[in-house]
Amino acid sequence: MTRAERLRPRFWENVRLRDMTGEEWESLCDGCGKCCLNKLEDPDTAEVAFTRVACRLLDAESCRCGNYRDRKRLVPECVVLSPASLPKVAYWLPATCAYRLLHEGRALNWWHPLVSGDPETVHAAGESVKDWTVSELTVSEDDWEDFIIEDP
């Protein structure tokens, strides 16, 4: 049985985030890699600025974590999304993120793999960070402001 066959049809439209299976929850990730961009948060306004400086574990070609299973151990500041943590961190997720969209009661984008049926549409639509990030290993944190981008 394939992964798609194990998921309830269009579950994201009628299953609450907290009621999704682990596999359904994980399938919400569109593979854009935007959540792996380092962000700067203004302490006075809580405004979040995205940078093109990516987590050291991000694979810039696939836009996936290079060590998803051990990410929290390897990168202690990594935020592990869950139904419990989502309400606290949704504001710093990109506006196109499926977790944020569903949390806010909005629909998934046409290019999301669950909608399109193709994991490559996120890249074809220009909605991923594919091949335009720089690793945090090559940029001093003091210089991250030089890499601020518009909301990805």
Per-residue pLDDT of 75-97, as tens digits, reads 999 999 999 999 999 998 999 99
Of all residues in the chain, the percent with pLDDT exceeding 70 is 97
Predicted confidence band at 40 (pLDDT cuts at 50, 70, 90)? very high
Predicted confidence at residue 46, as pLDDT, reads 85
Single out the residue of 99, 119, 36, 38 nearest to residue 71, CA to CA.
Answer: 36
Alpha helices per DSSP H over 13-141: 22-27, 71-74, 86-89, 98-103, 113-116, 121-124
Query: What is the average pLDDT score of the chain?
Result: 94
33: left (phi over 0), alpha (psi -120 to 50) or beta: left
User: Per the structure block, which two tokens stand in for 134?
Assistant: 């720089």
Q: Which residue has tokens 């506006």?
A: 95
**pLDDT higher than threshold 70 for residue 110:** yes
Which amino acid is residue 4, in one-letter code? A
User: Per the structure block, which two tokens stand in for 24?
Assistant: 């359904």
Predicted confidence at residue 150, as pLDDT, reads 83
Residues 6 and 31: their CA atoms lie apart, in Å, by 19
Predicted confidence at residue 4, as pLDDT, reads 64
Single out the residue of 79, 63, 67, 68 nearest to residue 132, CA to CA.
Answer: 63
User: Per the structure block, which two tokens stand in for 26?
Assistant: 């994980």
* pTM across the whole model: 0.91
Single out the residue of 41, 28, 147, 129 nearest to residue 91, CA to CA.
Answer: 41
The model's pLDDT over 9-30, given as tens digits with 9 standing for 90+, comes to 999 999 999 999 999 999 999 9
